[in-house]
Amino acid sequence: MIGAPPAPVRKRQDQSGSEMNGSLVVVDDVPAEFSERIIEAYHGRPNDMFSIALSGGETARRCYERLASTADTQIDWWKVDVYWSDERCVPLDHPDSNYFLARQALLDRVGAANATYPMRCEEGPDPYQLRVGELGKFDVVHLGLGADGHTASLFPHSAALNADPGRLVVMNEDPLGNNPHRRMTLTFAGIARARLVIVTVSGEEKRDALRRVVAGDDIPASRVHADRVIWLADHAAADGLPNP
Ligand code: 6PG
């Protein structure tokens, strides 16, 4: 089902004067709406090739499985270049790898992509930084939202939150130990290279983090900026938020 039309961009002033960036769209079926938005972005791409950066986590897995089943004929996957928003520093065939997740949930199912650019921790961040720099802009960056307010692998109190402004990609880890593995991640500057960021948020365990994003609280996910940012949430995650 196509979700409700995008809520108006919600600029909210909280006590710190910061604002939510982007529009909140509350839908019944996040994976279905995610798929529709990706198909829409693909058909509206300005160039022949379509570049998308994928995330990890169980919401992402459900979104990619749905995309694989709904977009098989609506997207020419030979025109899609696949990047990652973040990656765990494990082998690419490790069950915790975001590359492995995307292969299982999407790429092996659609059976094609023009190119995949996995993040390779053993190389360090610089080769990926160069690749993203050469790309210029992502058509889409897909992000999840952690209950602790992280997105990609930009964890609360982690070094990557204060990366040099010129860094698009860095290594990082969760100093509080709530999220496993050393990581490679896009920085906020790397995420800002997106024409469209879609953050998918599902489940009541994300309610507080989403509320804090809407309020403009100082949590990592609140710092996501790009040409356009859509917060795609289900009713369980958005419960209690004032209607736009
Ligand atoms: C990662 C992800 C991470 C994820 C969120 C949401 O590598 O762990 O990129 O940012 O998207 O933690 O994950 P869930 O959907 O599983 O809650």
Query: Pocket of ligand 1, candidates 58, 63, 86, 148: which has the most ligand atoms within 8 Å of its Cβ, to mutate?
Result: 86
Residues of the chain with pLDDT under 50: 1-4, 6-18
Say if domain 12-227 classifies as CATH 2.40.37.10: no
Q: Quick one: which of 148, 167, 166 has its CA closest to 157?
A: 148
Domain boundaries, the chain: 12-227
d(CA 92, CA 78): 22
Cα 121 to middle of ligand 1, angstroms = 18
Cα 34 to middle of ligand 1, angstroms = 15
- Please tell me if the CB atom of residue 152 comes closer than 6 angstroms to any atom of ligand 1: yes
- Please tell me if the CB atom of residue 151 comes closer than 6 angstroms to any atom of ligand 1: yes
pTM above 0.85, yes or no: yes
**Residue 144, beta-bridge partner list:** 200
pLDDT digits (tens, 9 = 90+) for 115-138: 999 999 999 999 999 999 999 999
Secondary structure element (H or E) that encloses residue 25, with its range = strand 23-27
- Please tell me if the CB atom of residue 97 comes closer than 6 angstroms to any atom of ligand 1: no
